[in-house]
């Protein structure tokens, strides 16, 4: 839940599910399953309306956003883990967004090997 009362979603874009006895696990990105990653905003008062906020930064498409945390200024940091395919994998990144835009290209932390999880220290 964001400071505006809206819900922010890290949409990883999809992947193939791996069936295992008694469970299903997320697997590789498949050509038919993968739509590209994005950050979406949902208004709880009007759940039918979700808005895609970001799907790229400086021409680099988001591949698999998966974690998000807000700071005291109302902006948020999020990780983009990337996707794994049969013979290759994406390099990940950490991004910052505020005021309806992703920050300038110098601000993302890229490249990272599979960034997963993000938090802010108090103070």
Tens-level pLDDT at each residue, the chain (123 residues): 888 889 999 998 887 788 899 998 877 776 666 778 999 999 888 867 788 899 988 788 899 999 999 988 888 999 999 888 878 888 999 999 887 777 654 467 888 998 999 998 876
**Would you state the pLDDT for residue 65?**
94
Tell me the domain boundaries of the chain: 7-112
Tell me how far apart the alpha carbons of residues 25 and 16 are, in angstroms, rounded to a whole number. 9
Helices (H), the chain: none
Strand 7-11's sheet: what is its strand order? 7-11, 38-43, 46-54
40 strand-pairing partners: 9, 52
CB under 8 Å to 15, separation ≥6 — which residues?
26, 27, 28, 29, 30, 33, 34, 83
CB under 8 Å to 91, separation ≥6 — which residues?
82, 110, 111, 112, 113
**Would you state the pLDDT for residue 73?**
85
**Would you state the pLDDT for residue 103?**
64
What predicted TM-score, i.e. pTM, was given to this entire model?
A: 0.82
**Would you state the pLDDT for residue 104?**
54
């Amino acid at each position: 839940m964001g400071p505006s009362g809206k819900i922010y979603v890290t949409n990883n874009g999809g992947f193939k599910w791996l069936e295992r006895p008694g469970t299903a696990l997320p697997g590789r990105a498949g050509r038919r399953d993968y739509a590209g990653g994005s950050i979406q905003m949902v208004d709880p008062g009007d759940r039918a309306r979700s808005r895609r906020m970001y799907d790229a930064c400086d021409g680099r498409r988001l591949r698999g956003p998966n974690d998000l945390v807000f700071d005291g200024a109302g902006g948020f940091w999020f990780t983009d883990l990337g996707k794994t395919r049969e013979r290759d994998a994406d390099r990940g990144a950490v991004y910052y967004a505020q005021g309806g835009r992703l920050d300038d290209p110098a601000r993302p932390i890229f490249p990272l090997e599979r960034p997963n999880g993000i938090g802010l220290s108090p103070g």
